[in-house]
Amino acid sequence: MSGVYPFRGLSSVAYESTLERDFVVKHEFYRHVLDVIPQPVQIEWCDARGAVQSYIPDYMVYFKLGARSFENYPKPLLVEVKPRLVWKKHWRAWLSKWKAARRYAIETGAEFRIWDESRIRDQAFDNI
């Protein structure tokens, strides 16, 4: 299931699964979230054979600074959304691209995280 979610009525955020849609919906209700950008970057990496591959993470989440000092500013969050059973089954095969995403995030002042339904469809999501 794919579609576009009207994020805060200001932008349209594409999703490719119901889990991705729920990720976007959940972040719409976080007051400290400024924006969610779908498929924000293409990251190149080399596989075990030395072949160049490309990987596009699902989202980049930007946060508001508010009254925080720069030292306490939340870093942008580069996110891959995957069902738990899927990433647990394939994590060895996907580890290299996720390491490349982590390196990219560090180089650009962000953090890389994998979000599954345990982080998305929790009690807070049930209350939305």
CATH of the domain at 104: 3.40.1350.10
How far is 37 from 10, CA to CA, in rounded Å? 12
Domain count, the chain: 1
Q: Please report, as a single letter, which amino acid is at residue 72.
A: N
Q: Give the helix/strand (H/E) hosting 80.
A: strand 77-81
Q: Give the helix/strand (H/E) hosting 119.
A: helix 117-120
Give the residue-averaged pLDDT of 46-72.
88
49-79 burial, b at 16+ Cβ within 10 Å, e below that, comes to: eeeeeebebbbbbebeeeeeeeeeebebbbb
Domain hosting residue 29, numbered range? 3-126
What is the pTM (predicted TM-score) of this model? 0.89
Q: Please report, as a single letter, which amino acid is at residue 102.
A: R
7: its two tokens: 């994020």
pLDDT in tens, 88-128: 999 999 999 999 999 999 999 999 999 999 999 988 777 77
% of the chain with per-residue pLDDT over 90: 74
Q: Please report, as a single letter, which amino acid is at residue 96.
A: S
Amino acid 17: pLDDT = 97
Q: How many residues does the chain have?
A: 128
